[in-house]
Amino acid sequence: MSVKVIEKEEIKVVGLPWTGTYGEAKTLPSLFNKMEERLEEVACLTNEPVVIAPFHSRETEFTYYVTKPVQKIEDVPEGMVGFTIPRKNYVVTTHKGRLEEVENTYHQLFTWMKEYGYEQDHHALGLEIFKEEHKQQNVSGDLHFEIYLPVRSYKE
């Protein structure tokens, strides 16, 4: 597994929120479909060919957003949210495979972080970034997306 550490600039996004238990996460693909159906409602979209899925993890549940990057947050459609993801340092890897294998990719990333002295920033949003170029294979269930976990510190 290839992992790198990067600083990502601030991103403004607008999209649909979802909160549920980890067991309910299998319903998330429908959120991507709903976002695609409502895309024309979002003002000030950038040309960046990605879907950004920020998330907050908690012990028993998590909040997940399916969003598109925007130039500015303006006229947020009903039922959607708009917010700014601040500039942050992340450890990054790519998940390639089935939905059932995503948890394993995260475990490998957590192991890497521990081995190299990185501490996750649990107060910041994690990100999953889905590129347009992989859309068809993602729809078919052969997932291909980047995982960004926010890091608080680096231990020498």
How confident is the model over 15-72, as pLDDT tens digits? Answer: 999 999 988 988 888 999 999 999 999 999 999 999 999 999 888 899 999 999 999 9
Q: Could you tell me what percent of the chain has a pLDDT over 70? A: 97
- pLDDT-derived band at 155 (thresholds 50, 70, 90) equals low
Q: Is the pLDDT of residue 90 over 90?
A: yes
| Residue 52: closest CA among 97, 112, 1, 9 | 9
Write down the pLDDT at residue 154: 58
pTM, entire model: 0.92
Q: Is the pLDDT of residue 104 over 80?
A: yes
141: left (phi over 0), alpha (psi -120 to 50) or beta: left
- 151 and 5 Cβ atoms separated by less than 8 Å: yes
